[in-house]
Chains A and B, each alone.
Chain A
């Protein structure tokens, strides 16, 4: 039998409860819904970290995000991943990443890939215009400075300025495509399809990362027409601008929530359409029947369920940590796995399906249906810190947030304050706190699990990976910011050095 190939599609910001095969009422994923019938659907798939830079070490390297230290991001040089393992096993490997700056060679994600395209050169410029020194801009800055003297005048200024900007841009007829910050799915799938056409008969590993549901929410107009036909491009632009405002009340944001969600759903719809096109290409190349196909997301997205938007680090709400996951094995029938499944276990599961032994460094275990019954009550763990940008070293050393997520109960702990939130997931929106009559054994087990995770998460055998990752980071810093390092100087040589090396 020919070696099986692997296609891994990850979709940024894709919520589990916004795909049809997990119960969403809108037609966002018609193709994936049909594929789910012949796949194993993990209805309780939980990320090991969120957002993207905390999630992907688990997906690709079966490692918790803080295992190498909270001052290390990405994949360490030489670290075992799905790509390196498969490349070593003779696979041709290709990755097509839709312009996410955290999934780049800078963070080690190119390791193990023969072809790696991050589309960063095609990312659109920032929407905000460059600052100008014209008369109106100077006047504006002066007004802004004056307005900031009281909260009331600051709020009034901000509101008036927002309305003024919206009136100006409403006159512009800018296509949505130019406002998008990331290449849409069809661009990525086109490139991946060209690569597939040249793979020949060799087994391959293809990783595609799509950004269509990611904010700002500018889906292709074709998708908008399908999911939100009443939304014009101008309206989409206004909605994104308003949704992105700071210092606006939740009450005011809620007025636009449903329309913003429609934009988000249209992005999902477009991704689904392009995934369908990718599978059609695989069928035309006669590579589908022998391929394992997996789809998941790095995290979800929030739309005010808990008063928050987007996908901020340190946030372990269900809308963020529960993601879709389906795995289609060749010639298999559909099934649903309901117990919590961690992304830590995804890479070992996929490698076993390809009959490639997972690296001994992987922390996770391969999924087996025989484990399903015995693992009914085993919670999974997710962690992150409150680092908002791994590119900025001054943001690295922030406190850890850990989530122990069982099939019914969930504990989220902030490890700086010790503040814990217990939730009963059987209630709608999973917002109601844990009832007092829940046995102490549950509380104890979850806390013990949290302690075990913190104690075990950094193993001695990770020391070399940590060292390599730190050296990479130092090199990047040295090449980027000379002003940051001039304070570090060598001690003056002692007249009689105390020690010499043996």
Chain B
């Protein structure tokens, strides 16, 4: 199955700067941007918040308070 991708346009100077700073760590600018977006959209912390909220609601319900 082909992975869907989206094209974006970035300022050349910005890309050159990023390549200078991080070029040795990523095979391409696309890889760097993918990494950054993956890190920013990670939902692990939010999932923990949601499960904690559910736990508290469950506890209040069990005790007849909700």
Interface residues of A (CB under 8 A from B): 69-71, 396-397, 399-400, 413, 415-416, 418, 443-444, 447-448, 450-451, 454-455, 458, 467, 470-471, 474, 478-479, 482, 485-486, 488-495, 497-501
B36 within 8 A of A: yes
Complex alpha-carbon distance, A494 and B7, angstroms:
10
Q: Quick one: given A495-B2, A498-B6, are A447 and B63 in contact (CB under 8 Å)?
A: yes
How many B residues touch the partner, as a band? 35 or more
B3 & A69 in contact (Cβ 8 Å cutoff): no
Interface residues of B (CB under 8 A from A): 2-9, 21-22, 24-28, 30-31, 33-36, 38-40, 42, 44-46, 48-49, 52-53, 55-60, 63, 65
Complex alpha-carbon distance, A400 and B47, angstroms:
12
Please tell me which one of the listed residues B7, B28, B30, B55 contacts residue A500 in the complex, with CB atoms under 8 A apart: B7
Complex alpha-carbon distance, A167 and B66, angstroms:
63
Complex alpha-carbon distance, A184 and B31, angstroms:
47
List the A residue with the shortest CB-CB distance to B33.
Answer: A490
B57 & A497 in contact (Cβ 8 Å cutoff): no
List the A residue with the shortest CB-CB distance to B36.
Answer: A474
Complex alpha-carbon distance, A418 and B36, angstroms:
34
Q: Quick one: given A69-B45, A69-B46, A397-B44, are A448 and B55 in contact (CB under 8 Å)?
A: no
CB-defined A-B contacts under 8 Å, sample of 14:
A70-B45, A70-B48, A71-B42, A397-B45, A448-B65, A451-B60, A454-B53, A455-B53, A482-B24, A485-B25, A488-B34, A488-B35, A494-B5, A497-B6
B5 & A491 in contact (Cβ 8 Å cutoff): yes
List chain B residues, Cβ under 8 A from A447: 56, 59-60, 63, 65
Q: Quick one: given A455-B53, A500-B6, are A482 and B31 in contact (CB under 8 Å)?
A: no
Complex alpha-carbon distance, A90 and B66, angstroms:
50
Complex alpha-carbon distance, A399 and B31, angstroms:
31
List chain B residues, Cβ under 8 A from A492: 3, 5
Give the Cβ gap from B1 to chain A, nearest Cβ, in Å. 11
List chain A residues, Cβ under 8 A from B48: 70, 397, 399-400
A488 & B31 in contact (Cβ 8 Å cutoff): yes
Q: A71-B44, A399-B48 are in contact. List 4 more A-B contacts (CB 8 A).
A: A413-B56, A474-B35, A490-B34, A492-B5
A485 & B52 in contact (Cβ 8 Å cutoff): no
Complex alpha-carbon distance, A443 and B44, angstroms:
30
